[in-house]
Structure 1
């Protein structure tokens, strides 16, 4: 099927174009949504961003995935193309000349060392070396040294100025932000974050040509792309419905971001386009309430949890499930905690490592390596700390497995951990890993972030500890490891795991699609 569709569209319940701002691989929610919608009879075309800018196309079950090249010249701001005299009047311009000059001085110094060596060899051979050549070489060394210091100083002024400007939080930047917010209101994002247009210019024309019945926009960047396409298509006489899938509460991102321009611009962009959405879906009950209040939505968003597939066939799709304990090099009798997901300071994984000295013999499996990577800076820092604590031999870093294998893979552990730190978005989240841990029937040790802690306390499936408190984590871990069957029994509650499946969530999403097209007599 080409970009303009084909005969399959007429036989389907309707054409759904899904939008996401990543390469699809690694985004389990988007993959599951596309696949299940196609299984339910919708014609699904999922548009994402091509890594490296090389367009790609493949099938995801019955859905078609198209990765588009996204040029991003607007991601560079105008000040990145010029010197900032106020911060570095002697800085090089940001056009590459600084690296050129630094390399040229290094080449000069290397040549001087070679010429000095040649003079030494000449002298050792008994041939005379004119004194003026020694003096000229010495003078040139001084000149090279002075030039090197001058180049380094100008290079330092450039990099310092660029680093300061990237924060966009100085007095001039704050005035610029205030001015455009005052003049343009929510439309200020056009001045404050013009890089959002890069997404529009890459995705918008493709969506227009596909003429979907439903646009499913994942998260805040794609909301704008979907909303503008909706307005254009309707103006052209083509009926289309917009579904906004909000994965997180944008104002609740890391508060440090709010000191700069980026988050304010993204929030303004979201506020401008949220009213265009015909339906909103999101990932938790708490986030549904927040979104309705924040955007004055006429109806509460539909909750579609980040739950895993339940089908046993899915777990082995693509090959056998790896053996977690074999990869860690330990036997079945060794206590093993498992963590699945990225390692970053806000994820709180460091508290688990800090607690290991108090958990004699307990090992930790970190299923955290992205495809094609052997490590990340955050993982390296964690392993260094494990070495300092003398527990490096009990920390095992493993690569991700396909999303449909995660629960089966982790089930070989004795317990799972979710040690999130306190951030606004963490307080309202029921993460993908939480449901994967549950389907692995593992006792869970969670930090006291609100929604997850309330859930664990109500179900009895684990223990709660004070976030970033290693001693309290050790207490909670000892409790679940001492009597894991007590916590596993929570999963026998009728309907608990059945409700926490993607199959059940897909039914809710399908109802949203069906309701949106029902007035037009479709579906």
Structure 2
């Protein structure tokens, strides 16, 4: 398994790893270490190994050179600026001590006139040198900050040149940092000698495809599954980097043809992928649905209580948002609406409670006078999410209109459903259509605070009416991970028809077939 994160917090990665291992495969999940050390633990019957990944190739050549045009007087990017600043500080510190010594000697009646004049001259010199160093260092910082951005005319010209000259191989020039994943993971995958590599998303498809090519050149049969979690061109682009999106799209196009099977998260995305990459077969859909409440729970483990963490009773209305924290997720709409929702509280269960965006929302809540009704909480374990969220009154999905948001029933939709929460969702295409069809919540116009308030008030007026939808026979059964795991097993069996079906973990005497599943995001 290959994943470009630290595994924790990625429920899809964890569920696939555990399900594959429980089905009898030998599973090793390789993730990215948060530091320079390798970490290992067990995820059910799967082994997790987090490997250090160097960021060396993310450094651009121009970041190592002096920028003569933008900062002709700036210091070279070799540490000279920091060195000179420290030297000036040390000089000033020395002058302060020497001045004190002179004052003490003068108090003792010793002659210090000449030395005091020299000290004054030296103080003048350190002030002048300090201003010069600050000026040069300021030029260096401005030049560095400007070249951190890759969105100028030169960057656009650079991108177009390499796209025209090398086509889909252009990512090697535009985003060489993609090689850092290969250099950290490639040799480990080769040593594992997997029968099947399951590569998730756009970063890992290259690592997986190259590992398959090396294995086949050595005479081993290896199959590659590519699991596309998102439509890459539909991701919100980085505002300050003209190269990122073209590079990653080229990387994906180069290696997508090597996939023996493609999986994705929704039927809409499956159609887009088939058209974009000319796939002969429509990708199989594996929803990121939650498992049954007791599927992955350890017997000695208790789930935290959402309302207790928020410090509220069982009757206070509680809106919950669970998921990644980002501007396009629409969390600001909830904060702006809170002053107009009576005594209702809002809980944000997010991946980065102390992040800049979340702290900005906290500051805004303070300005609006509702900070005491806004609660920021960290993620819980993926198998605890449903029971954790079930204490809320309603679940909120206020995402903005972006291509990837339009085509999928996202993870929190299924989590809210299994928690039997009424929902308030924005009018993104697929999810709004489902909520209107089932009646499990209300739809509001994305980024419209007034319409959001209307929708929330409608649900709070009669939450049981919306909650009753979940009693409909068969509605939740198809939205379980157990049903999705069957699709995974069918794909693996289709790719390896000549191999015996992997035995269940309960039969320890039968040798299992090795499976490496590459995962990202």
Which residue number corresponds to residue 98 of structure 1?
A: 81
Pair 1:60-2:43 in alignment: yes
Pair 1:465-2:448 in alignment: no
Task: Quote the offset at 1:258 in angstroms.
Answer: 8.5
8 Å contact 1:219–1:248 — kept in the other structure?
yes
Superimposed CA distance per residue, residues 146-192 of structure 1 (whole angstroms, 9 cap, x where no aligned partner): 22222222222222222222222222222222111111100111111
Which one of the candidate residues 358, 363, 367 is aligned to 1:379? 358
SS across alignment from 2:468: helix
Which one of the candidate residues 21, 27, 49 is aligned to 1:44? 27
Which residue number corresponds to residue 509 of structure 2?
A: none
SS across alignment from 1:506: helix
Which one of the candidate residues 88, 91, 114 is aligned to 2:97? 114
8 Å contact 1:417–1:444 — kept in the other structure?
yes
Pair 1:29-2:12 in alignment: yes
Which residue number corresponds to residue 517 of structure 2?
A: none
Superimposed CA distance per residue, residues 448-473 of structure 1 (whole angstroms, 9 cap, x where no aligned partner): 22222222112111111122221111
8 Å contact 1:369–1:397 — kept in the other structure?
no
* Distance of 1:161 and 1:57 partners within structure 2: 42
SS across alignment from 1:221: helix
Alignment of 1:184-333 (within 5 A): 184-257=166-239, 260-312=242-294, 314-315=296-297, 319-333=301-315
Task: Quote the offset at 1:313 in angstroms.
Answer: 5.2
SS across alignment from 1:255: coil
Cα distance change on mapping 1:501 and 1:317 into 2, 3 Å: farther
Task: Quote the offset at 1:318 in angstroms.
Answer: 5.6
Task: Quote the offset at 1:521 in angstroms.
Answer: 6.6
Which one of the candidate residues 120, 144, 168 is aligned to 1:162? 144
Which one of the candidate residues 460, 464, 482 is aligned to 1:503? 482
* Distance of 1:470 and 1:159 partners within structure 2: 40
Task: Quote the offset at 1:509 in angstroms.
Answer: 1.0
SS across alignment from 1:94: coil
Deviates more, 1:261-270 or 1:512-521: 512-521
SS across alignment from 2:496: helix
* Distance of 2:212 and 2:487 partners within structure 1: 23
Deviates more, 1:290-299 or 1:446-455: 446-455
Which residue number corresponds to residue 5 of structure 1?
A: none
* Distance of 2:204 and 2:221 partners within structure 1: 19
Higher relative contact order (CA 8 A, sep 6+): 2
Alignment of 1:442-461 (within 5 A): 442-461=421-440
* Distance of 1:407 and 1:522 partners within structure 2: 32
Could you tell me the TM-score, scaled by structure 1's length? Answer: 0.92
Which one of the candidate residues 334, 339, 354 is aligned to 2:321? 339
Deviates more, 1:46-55 or 1:391-400: 46-55
* Distance of 1:131 and 1:465 partners within structure 2: 80
Which residue number corresponds to residue 381 of structure 2?
A: 402
* Distance of 1:473 and 1:319 partners within structure 2: 37
Gaps of 5+ in 1: 1-17
Superimposed CA distance per residue, residues 5-48 of structure 1 (whole angstroms, 9 cap, x where no aligned partner): xxxxxxxxxxxxx2111121221101100110111122212111
Gaps of 5+ in 2: 503-521
Higher helix share: 1
Which one of the candidate residues 81, 88, 97 is aligned to 2:64? 81
SS across alignment from 1:306: coil
SS across alignment from 2:380: coil
Q: What number of residue pairs does the alignment pair up? A: 502
Cα distance change on mapping 1:261 and 1:395 into 2, 3 Å: same
8 Å contact 1:20–1:219 — kept in the other structure?
no
Could you tell me the TM-score, scaled by structure 2's length? Answer: 0.92
8 Å contact 1:315–1:321 — kept in the other structure?
no
Cα distance change on mapping 1:517 and 1:369 into 2, 3 Å: closer
Superimposed CA distance per residue, residues 467-520 of structure 1 (whole angstroms, 9 cap, x where no aligned partner): 222111111111111110111112122222111111111111111111111156
Which residue number corresponds to residue 369 of structure 2?
A: 390
Which residue number corresponds to residue 474 of structure 1?
A: 453
SS across alignment from 2:346: strand
